[in-house]
Structure formats: structure tokens, C-alpha cells
Amino acid sequence: MLPTMKDVARQAGVSTATVSRVLNGTRGVSEHTKLRVQQAIADLGYRYNALARSLKKKQSRLIGHIVPSIAGPVSPVLARAVEDQAQKSGFNVILCNSYESIQKERTNITTLLERRVDGIILSAPILPDHLAMIHERSVPMAIIERRAELSDFPFVEPNNYSGAYEAVKYLLALGHGRIAMIVGPTNTLISEQRMRGYGDALGDAGIPIDPDLMAAGDYGKDSGYEAMQVFLRLHRRPTAVFAANDTMAIGAMQAASHAGLNIPKDISFVGFDDTYADLTIPQLTTVHQPLYEIGVLAAKVVISRIRGAPDDYPTENILPCYLKERESCGPAPEL
């Protein structure tokens, strides 16, 4: 005869309610008691019937997580963090890739809703209309970056503005006056925040924004390379470049090196994210954003709403960034 929850409770010397709380990852159980219950489960070979529970409670214990692409430098860290925190709380995660496709994102959301997930986390959602699809079904959600401005949906993001401001301020302190920026996709709030931080840092130093020193990118390495080639053709090239992510900064560094420039003697570079920054030669100075902490917090936010405790976390959750100095910056050269 298969062991029951009552058998586990008897073996651990606790109530069945306590066993249930341990199995479901809910609060109110000490670490010592949790270990006793887990040991009793292992000793008895108890198997928790999650399907039966989901039918009874009308909960799937599943959270959907949609990312732009698991192949990118940012999404894998966020996905691992979300899954780690979800599993600690008794949930499993269904991971979906949108590949920056409006249709794919819509299909992912429809599929997750059909699977009756308890909550959804969207990393960099594409369309506000897609958020409305989830909201109309009363499914709790949390957004990681790329939130819709003035949206009432809970979100978690790094302080993009202050990170960019500090990066440019650092370059100014090194004596750089011609600081170029490679901007991310201009239709996102992230890009707007980082661009505003760049412009305000220059403005506070009395330096007007030069349109010739701004180039659009798509967060890919090739766009960083191409933007740097444009800067190199200027009559007076920049002495420093701030890129809106590390991948574009790496592409720009390659273009500068191929043009015969020494980094950082001839030109300095700062990125944003702190993903592959320590793998470049020289190592890239960058703005570190706490990606793992962002993913953990996003999972906590959506789980709090699943459990009917939305006041546990605020709607706006903005985590600090900081500049991580490495080898790609030096004093401004004389041109």
C-alpha cells in the first residue's frame, strides 16, 4: 500500500497541514521542521500527486516565463533565477522563447493560458496588447524590463538611467569630451532611459549632445561594429564610446582594433549588462546590472500575487546598477 500524507505526518511528528505546507512551499514552517518532513518523505517513498492537487485546488503549480531568446547573454541568467526561486516556492516553470516576434509572443501567451498556468513572467514583452490578454484572464504576471510606460502591471528592472549616467560621468572624469553612444532599439523604454542618462550626464557637464556621436544599434555585435565604423569616418572621431549593452560594445571594440586603434590608449569603451565583459581583450568596463537578483525578485512578485498577497511587493521594483571598472578605459587622448 502506498504511503499517504498522514503517514508522512506521523513519521515526522507533525500535522498533515504542516506536510502540505512543506510540499506546496508556503510560509510558516521552520527549516528544522521542513527537513524532518523531507526526511520522512524520503524514508517512506511518498509520492506527491501534483495533478490531483491541481484539479482539486484549480491550480497548476506552473509559471510561464517568456524570454526574447534563451541564446542571448541576458535571458539564461534570468531564466535560471526564475526557475530557482519558483522551485523553492513549490512551482515549476514553462520557458518559452519569443525570438522578438510579435506572433510568437502571442502564441506563447495563448499556449500558457491554455495550459492554465498560475502566473506569467514576461522578459522584455513586445506589445502592450499582449499584457492585456493576460490581464483579461486575471492571471497574475510580472514584467522584467521593457515595461509599458504608465502601466499598472508589476515590473522588475535595473536602474537603467542611473547606470548610464554613471558610465558617462566616469568617462567625463577621465577627461573625455567627445563621448559617442551606441543606442539600443529606440522603441523601448530601456533604450530611452539609457539614452536619457547619457544625455543628462553630458548636459550636467555643459556638453551638448552631438547627433553625429549617436548611432542606432539592435543590441547585436554587428550593429556595434557598424556604428563604430561610422564614428571612425567622422572628421573628429570620439575618444570614448558608451554602448547600451556589452554585445554592441564588443562589436565596436573589434572595429576600433581592426582600424589600428589601441584600447584604451587611443579610445575608451564602456558597456552595459556585465555579461561577457570579462572575456574581451582588454576586459570591458561596464555597468553591472543584477540579472540573477532581478529574476529572483520577478518570481517572488508573481508568486505573491498567485497567493493573493499583492501587497508583499510594490508595483515598481527598480534595482541599483553600478559601474564595474576593468581595462577598456583610460585618460582622453589628444586628437
- Return d(Cα 82, Cα 241) in angstroms, integer: 33
Q: Give the SS3 label for residue 132.
A: helix
Summarize the confidence of residues 121-150 as an average pLDDT.
83
CA 224 to chain centre: 21
Summarize the confidence of residues 202-218 as an average pLDDT.
96
Same domain, 147 and 182: no
Q: Give the SS3 label for residue 241.
A: strand
Same domain, 266 and 164: yes
Same domain, 211 and 267: yes
DSSP state of 277: G
Give the residue ranges of DSSP H helices in the chain: 5-12, 16-24, 31-44, 50-57, 75-88, 102-114, 128-136, 160-173, 189-204, 221-232, 246-258, 291-306
% of residues, the chain, pLDDT over 70: 93
CB 294 within 8 A of CB 78: yes
More confident residue, 334 or 247: 247
- Return d(Cα 197, Cα 6) in angstroms, integer: 59
CATH number for the domain including 102? 3.40.50.2300
Residue 190's pLDDT is what?
86
Same domain, 150 and 296: yes
Residue 145's pLDDT is what?
81
Picking from 43-47, 131-135, 189-193, which range would have the lowest pLDDT averaged per residue? 43-47
Summarize the confidence of residues 122-129 as an average pLDDT.
82
Question: What is the overall mean pLDDT for the chain?
Answer: 90
Instruction: Calculate helix-pair angle for 75-88, 291-306, nearest 10 degrees.
Output: 40
Phi, psi (degrees; rounded to nearest 5) at 95: -95, 130
Of these ranges, 40-49, 65-74, 230-239, the one predicted with the greatest mean pLDDT is 230-239
Report pLDDT digits (tens) over 239-249. Answer: 999 999 999 99
Determine, yes or no, domain membership for 188: yes
Summarize the confidence of residues 217-235 as an average pLDDT.
96
CATH number for the domain including 37? 1.10.260.40
Q: What is the pTM of this model?
A: 0.80
CA 27 to chain centre: 26
Residue 51's pLDDT is what?
46
Query: CB atoms < 10 A from the CB of 210, how many?
Result: 15
Identify which of 262, 259, 287, 283 has the alpha carbon closest to the alpha carbon of residue 273. 287
Reply yes or no on whether the pLDDT at 56 is more than 90. Answer: no
Provide the residue range defining the domain that includes 305: 57-158+291-319
